[in-house]
Homo-oligomer: A and B are copies of this chain.
Amino acid sequence: MAAQARSPIGVFDSGIGGLTVVRTLMERLPFEDIIYFGDTARVPYGVKSRDTIRAFTRQITEFLLARDVKLLIVACNTMAAVAIDEVRALSTVPVLDVIDAGARAAVEITRKGVGVIGTPTTINSNAYARSIHALNPAVHVYSQACPLFVPLVEEGWLDNEVARLTAREYLKPVLEEQIDTLVLGCTHYPLLKPLLQEVVGPGIQLVDSAITVAEQTAAALDRLGLHNPQRVAPHYQYYVTDVPLRFQTIGSRFLGRELTHLEQVRW
């Protein structure tokens, strides 16, 4: 199918983290319709094998393409890390992803070295280092898996002593390296930004890929002439594979507004 300006943007994640990307898209591109897909029945992907993640990613990509999206955003670092080639191979529309967006922003900012934090699967995939080195082989990259950050964010412990000690523990080896830029390599981490900035200090700039991917999306729509010409209130639709306890509460915290138009897909 041909990409159409009035079609929605498709955004997907393994769960609710990608709603931080939807939030920045709403702010940056206030006239675009958005369809979000969160695989809440099978979340988290960050602890699953590559084969399983690739199979799940194909299924979601096909679901969104069948809904005539004009652009696909992989708003999940784990899927972007291990399955971006699957998405690109299947997709008939342009594909953007949070890893490419974060890597580009980091390379533009850094003068010394880049730290990357994320889930174990993202970090072990080495996808950020590969993306950064493809852009500039001279940049030093130091990576650290932070498996407790996602559950801390979902518990809403964003600024207490447990969150602070956990951040200090995870960031200690990263801060011993010469870095001036820290990439938040997981869509949950923007909610920890104030705490992380406090722990790393003012000398290190945080890269929030929710913001950078929204900028890339705006640039892609410019280039392709695909901005929605309508100036009416946009339509937002959220598909999830499960509606767990407290989903509306947590989702609204990620989205920065009330989460409505939620529909459960049963696979």
Contact = CB atoms under 8 A, between A and B. Distances in A.
Interface of A: 40-43, 47-49, 52, 120-121, 124, 147-148, 150-152, 154-155, 157, 160-162, 165-166, 169, 242-246
A120 B247 CA distance: 12
Contact of A120 (B150, B160, B166, B246): B246
A47 B124 contact: no
A150 B162 CA distance: 15
A245 B52 contact: no
B48 A244 contact: yes
A49 B243 contact: yes
A257 B141 CA distance: 37
Contact of A147 (B40, B124, B151): B151
Nearest to A147: B155
Nearest to A151: B151
One complex includes copies of this chain to the number of 2
Contacts of A155: 147-148
A174 B165 CA distance: 24
A160 B169 CA distance: 11
Contacts of A243: 49
A188 B120 CA distance: 20
A147 B154 CA distance: 9
Contacts of A148: 148, 151-152, 155, 157, 162
Given A47-B245, A120-B246, A148-B152, 8 more contacts: A49-B242, A52-B242, A121-B245, A147-B151, A148-B148, A148-B151, A162-B165, A165-B165
A66 B169 CA distance: 47
User: Top 3 A-B pairs ranked by shortest CB distance?
Assistant: A151-B151, A47-B244, A52-B242
Contacts of A48: 40-41, 242, 244
A155 B148 CA distance: 8
Nearest to A149: B151
A157 B148 CA distance: 10
